[in-house]
């Protein structure tokens, strides 16, 4: 689990059948002051109402019980 900032929305003409109805986002990890960490973006599944520029918590597969 890590804090991140939403950098953009991924537009896709075809998705896996399990992802239909969900949006995909580019997120970038941030530190406690909101500064970007590193050079690596991640792809996240949008489950809540958040948009570009918002800070979110990203939970990776297997981290939450």
Burial 10-36 (b: 16+ CB within 10 A, else e): eeeeeeeeeeeeebebbbbbbeeeeee
For the chain, domains (ranges, CATH) are: 2-13+20-58 (2.40.50.220)
Tens digits of residue pLDDT in 8-47 = 999 888 888 888 888 899 999 999 998 999 999 999 988 8
- Residue 64's pLDDT band, with cuts at 50, 70 and 90, is low
What is the pTM assigned to this prediction? 0.79
């Amino acid at each position: 689990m890590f804090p991140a900032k939403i950098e953009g929305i991924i537009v896709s003409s075809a998705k896996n059948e399990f992802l239909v109805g969900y949006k995909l986002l580019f997120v970038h990890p941030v530190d406690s002051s909101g500064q970007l960490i590193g050079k690596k973006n991640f792809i996240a599944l949008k489950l809540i109402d958040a948009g570009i520029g918002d800070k979110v918590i990203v939970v990776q597969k297997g981290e939450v019980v």
